[in-house]
Amino acid sequence: VKFNVTFLERTASTNTHAWQLIHEGMAGEGTVIWAGEQYAGRGQGENTWLSQPGMNLTFSLVLEPSALQPDRQFCLNKAVALAVLSTVRELAGNMRVSIKWPNDIYIGGKKAAGILIEHSIQGNLIRHSVIGIGINLNQLEFPSGLPNPVSLKQLTGLGYNPKDVLEMTCSRLSAEYYRLEEGYFNMIHADYDKSLAGLGLDMEFAAGPSTVSGRITGVDELGRLLVLTADGLSEKFNHGEISYVIRES
């Protein structure tokens, strides 16, 4: 991927800005919108993404993964999660960094980075994907009410340069995207599962009103969480159907 980076001092959301450019025909494969401040940062679902101005890395990358079938789109989520995982791993030294399904990046039991991927689909093709990435770098205080946020600085005491981290992340995105385009799906699935938070541990899951005991065995190509329940059943859950907590370790 050839990256073409635009820095904005302030915007509502880099994902929203990227979509506007796409609609105007001003963005395509490799366009990167990086912002110092987002005043309406978006998270998954109805969530917001809060990031103090200048403290963290918030950017969006536009891709045109035309070879990726829409029903395989979760493979792109996995590839992106692996790229962000490897960036955070390098920055965090020897701390335990993992992917919390579907694509949050955790250090121990806390969330250090989030990913929001949006697609436009035309017929049976993905036209554009906007890959939004937020990595908490230097922020030391988070509003109460957020589930369990953490920044790298809170854990390592070090300061991070957002531009350097942007470059690192882009080079890893490029490597993972290459694997995806070349069709190395099995490698992507295996690497993703290997880094899944909670893999193989006995846990309690909240599934609607009921509780399920079991262990995570992986995530399938449609993005469903695979759980082997205590009753010996193999169950599949979509995002939003099940929740669980990753314990600090």
Q: Check residue 151 for interaction with ligand BTN (CB under 6 A).
A: no
Q: What's the 3-state SS for the chain?
A: CCCEEEEEEEECCHHHHHHHHHHCCCCCCCEEEEEEEECCCECCCCCECCCCCCCCEEEEEEECCCCCCHHHCHHHHHHHHHHHHHHHHHHCCCCCEEEECCCEEEECCEEEEEEEEEEEEECCEEEEEEEEEEECCCCCCCCCCCCCECCHHHHHCCCCCHHHHHHHHHHHHHHHHHHHHCCCHHHHHHHHHHCECCECCCEEEEECCEEEEEEEEEECCCCCEEEEECCCCEEEECCCCCECCCCCC
CB of 68 to ligand BTN, least distance (A): 20
Q: Check residue 63 for interaction with ligand BTN (CB under 6 A).
A: no
Q: Check residue 13 for interaction with ligand BTN (CB under 6 A).
A: yes
- The single residue among 23, 39, 47, 69 that binds ligand BTN, judged by CB under 6 A, is 47
Q: Check residue 98 for interaction with ligand BTN (CB under 6 A).
A: no
List binders of ligand BTN among 16-45 (CB under 6 A): 38, 41-44
Q: Check residue 149 for interaction with ligand BTN (CB under 6 A).
A: no
Stretch that binds ligand BTN, among 10-18, 158-166, 176-184, 204-212 (CB under 6 A): 10-18
- The single residue among 19, 49, 142, 160 that binds ligand BTN, judged by CB under 6 A, is 49
Q: Check residue 223 for interaction with ligand BTN (CB under 6 A).
A: no
Which residue, 41 or 108, has its beta carbon nearer to ligand BTN? 41
List binders of ligand BTN among 120-139 (CB under 6 A): 132-134
Q: Check residue 112 for interaction with ligand BTN (CB under 6 A).
A: no
Binding region for ligand BTN (CB under 6 A): 13-15, 38, 41-44, 47, 49, 58-60, 104, 114-116, 132-134
